[in-house]
Amino acid sequence: MKHPSPRARRAVLVAGLAAAAYLVFCGVWLALARREARTGSDQLTEFRQDPDPQEILDGTALPVIRSAQADFESARDRARSPLLAPLRMVPLVGRQIDSFAAISDAAARVTGAGVDGAEEARRVLGGDIPPGEGRVTTLRRLAEIAELTSARIATVPLGPSDDLVGPVRRARTEFAEEKDRIELALLYTRDAADSLADILDGPSSYLVMAGNNAEMRAGSGMFLSVGRVDFAGGRLQLSDFESTGDLHLDEGVAYRDRDLEERWGFAHPNREWRNLALSPRFPPNAEMATRMWREAEGRASDGVLALDVVGLQAFLTATGPVDVGELTVDADNVQQLLLHDQYTGDPDQAARRDQLAEIARAVLEAFDSSTPDLPALAQALRVAVEGRHLMMWSRDATDQRAWEQAGVSGAVGDHDVLVGLMNRGGNKLDQYLSVEGRVRTRSVVEGSLVTVRLTVENEVPDGEPDYIAGEGEYGLYDGFFALTMPGDSELVDTSVPEAVAAGPDGDTRVLAIPVLISQGDTVEWKVSFVVPPEVASVTVGPSARVPKLEWWGPDGLRWNDLDTPRQSVPLPAR
């Protein structure tokens, strides 16, 4: 057998070394492409986790998004480089490279569409938008931009989907899901903008219910004042607000929501306005309120807008200060004024109730007649909506669907967990209750066991007037503790068996107990429930309380429901 010559062996060795060097080069090259794609993805993930509309409108967020777009484009160009042409000829390997390039290109194009849409929106919102028809026109244009941007993203191809290996297949699937979410979010934005334009253009009429967080219900302050706002031609006209205590119905309206009647009928929310929102589900409460209004005042309304003290504070950051009588009210003093100071001294009780209504009226009228700071307004709306400080319900099914999509409907999801601590003592002590919650999870045979432990301390100081501290035992908090749980959960344990309400509440379940907390005392309540094994997480929603509710979750997770109104808590994998 003839052996290869030394020259031939050297040629083979050189070729082998060259091939090895090429493969090393390709590996490094692709690693760089992957790192660039990951950098772009990380930048967008950080932005998506805490999107700030103010930063979009004032332009400070756009450089970050453009940087992510540039990273995706660089990753795509590396994957499509002629230097990788030989490697792309290898069937299975080439398929993965082509798919990676297509995903990177799609990410760059989707990001670019987002930047272009944001820039166009900034141009529309860049000048002063006069009150009236100009606002309707602006909303219509924003709806059009959202729709066009969504359509542009929908046409972006994702590249090959067959014969992909695990990591590439997962990346393509995850990006396809994210692309669908972006398209849908833009369509939701379109619908919300169109619906708001329809309402402003009018003619339409909404109830305005003003809630005070010093006296709480479930997921909102107690509704102490109600009025009507009429919309036409982009302008609004407010009626005088009335105290809900003066609108009590001797014979309540019929219940149309069976769970409201069965769980909370003992408190007669169908005739006592101040007992609306014992259930945190705003839509059925709002619908019933429109019929209560018609019964009391003989007037129909197209929907309901609920706004509390924190919501007013958010709007004041955009409109600036307002004058109410001799008071100048701004974002810095409105909470102290409405939660506390209006109840000190010896003012007439009717005037006390009217201050909340008059400040709400002044803020809405300032919004109607002025040109608010749009970035600040966008941020204010975000804070108000996410924390249940601004909620809307519409009799029109299309508008109501838009409010649900925009997250402003006050609806409760079927896997939400909400805490309610509701005042029935006729005082203003909620501002002095420190509420903490702990969530623990573990796997059990039936699914996932979720344990919620609530701790409340009554920190009311000495020296408060009776209107705040109560007219009986000083500082005694008399109320209901309520926990809203996923609708498919099963209650398995509670440290306090006595319940005033227990069972289905829409798509959720509720358990409510009576509670008394004296000045300086601390009470605890533990509830455990099991959710089915197919449920991957529960979401802890906002309480709308002032001060905010502090939470501790599994694995060191910690948050509060002001800065993080909705926190997903993963359940143990089975």
Q: How large a percentage of the chain has pLDDT more than 90?
A: 44
pLDDT at 548: 93
pLDDT at 278: 95
pLDDT at 463: 92
Q: In one letter, which amino acid is 265?
A: G
pLDDT per residue as tens digits for the range 304-324: 999 999 999 988 988 889 988
Q: Binning pLDDT at 50, 70 and 90, where does residue 409 land?
A: very high
Q: Which of 15-19, 344-348, 461-465 has the lowest mean pLDDT?
A: 15-19
pLDDT at 15 over 70: no
Q: How many residues does the chain have?
A: 574
Q: Binning pLDDT at 50, 70 and 90, where does residue 102 land?
A: confident
pLDDT at 37: 65
Q: DSSP labels for 533-547?
A: TT--EEEE-----SS
Q: Quote the CA–CA distance of 210 and 202 in Å, as a whole number.
A: 22
Q: Which of 27-31, 84-88, 292-296 has the lowest mean pLDDT?
A: 27-31
pLDDT, mean of residues 129-137: 81
pLDDT at 506 over 90: yes
> Looking at per-residue confidence, does 550 or 426 come out higher?
550
pLDDT at 261: 95
Q: Which of 1-15, 78-92, 314-328, 407-421 has the lowest mean pLDDT?
A: 1-15
pLDDT, mean of residues 339-358: 72
pLDDT per residue as tens digits for the range 165-207: 777 788 778 778 888 888 888 888 888 888 888 888 889 999 9
pLDDT at 84: 63
Of the candidates 226, 191, 364, 351, the residue with the CA atom closest to the CA atom of residue 296: 226
Q: DSSP labels for 98-134?
A: HHHHHHHHHHHHHHHHHHHHHHHHHHHHSS---SSHH
> Looking at per-residue confidence, does 58 or 445 come out higher?
445
Q: What percent of the chain is helix, strand and coil (3-state, nearest 5)?
A: 50, 25, 30
Strands 242-243 and 220-232: antiparallel
234, 136 in Cβ contact below 8 A?
yes
pLDDT at 267: 94
pLDDT, mean of residues 214-237: 91
Q: Quote the CA–CA distance of 566 and 380 in Å, as a whole number.
A: 17
Q: Which of 133-142, 268-277, 440-449 has the lowest mean pLDDT?
A: 133-142
506, 539 in Cβ contact below 8 A?
no
DSSP 8-state symbol, 256:
S
Q: Quote the CA–CA distance of 47 and 306 in Å, as a whole number.
A: 30
pLDDT per residue as tens digits for the range 376-404: 777 778 888 899 999 999 999 999 998 99
Q: What is the mean pLDDT of the chain?
A: 84
Q: Which residues contact 549 (CB under 8 A, 6 or more apart)?
A: 419, 435, 436, 437, 543, 560, 561
Q: DSSP labels for 424-483?
A: -SSS--GGGEEEEEEEEEEEETTEEEEEEEEEEEE-PPTT--HHHH-SSSTT-EEEEEEE
Q: Quote the CA–CA distance of 455 and 439 in Å, as a whole number.
A: 12
Q: Which residues contact 123 (CB under 8 A, 6 or more apart)?
A: none
Q: Which of 77-81, 143-147, 331-335 has the lowest mean pLDDT?
A: 77-81
Q: Which of 9-18, 107-116, 273-282, 315-324 has the lowest mean pLDDT?
A: 9-18
Q: If you search the block for the tokens 């509830």, which residue do you land on? A: 527
pLDDT at 387: 92
This prediction has a pTM of 0.85
pLDDT at 500: 92
pLDDT at 417 over 70: yes
Q: Binning pLDDT at 50, 70 and 90, where does residue 3 land?
A: low
From residue 77, how far is each of 46, 59, 83, 108, 216 by CA, in Å?
24, 28, 11, 11, 57
Q: If you search the block for the tokens 């990273």, which residue do you land on? A: 71
Q: DSSP labels for 149-178?
A: HHHHHHT------SS--HHHHHHHHHHHHH
Q: For residue 390, count CB atoms less than 10 angstroms from its CB and return exposed for 0-12, middle for 13-18, buried for 19 or more.
A: buried
Q: Quote the CA–CA distance of 182 and 113 in Å, as a whole number.
A: 11
Which region holds residue 525: left if phi is over 0, alpha if psi is between -120 and 50, else beta? beta
pLDDT, mean of residues 501-506: 94
Q: Quote the CA–CA distance of 210 and 223 in Å, as a whole number.
A: 5
Q: Binning pLDDT at 50, 70 and 90, where does residue 142 land?
A: confident
pLDDT at 170: 80
Other CB atoms within 10 A of residue 442 CB? 11
Q: For residue 203, count CB atoms less than 10 angstroms from its CB and return exposed for 0-12, middle for 13-18, buried for 19 or more.
A: exposed
Question: Residue 375 — φ and ψ, nearest 5°?
Answer: -60, -40
Q: Cα 557–335–512 angle (5° rounding)?
A: 55
- Please give the radius of gyration of the chain, using alpha carbons only, rounded to the nearest integer: 29
Q: How large a percentage of the chain has pLDDT more than 70?
A: 84
Positive/negative CA dihedral, 282, 286, 292, 297: positive
pLDDT at 51 over 70: no
pLDDT at 378: 75
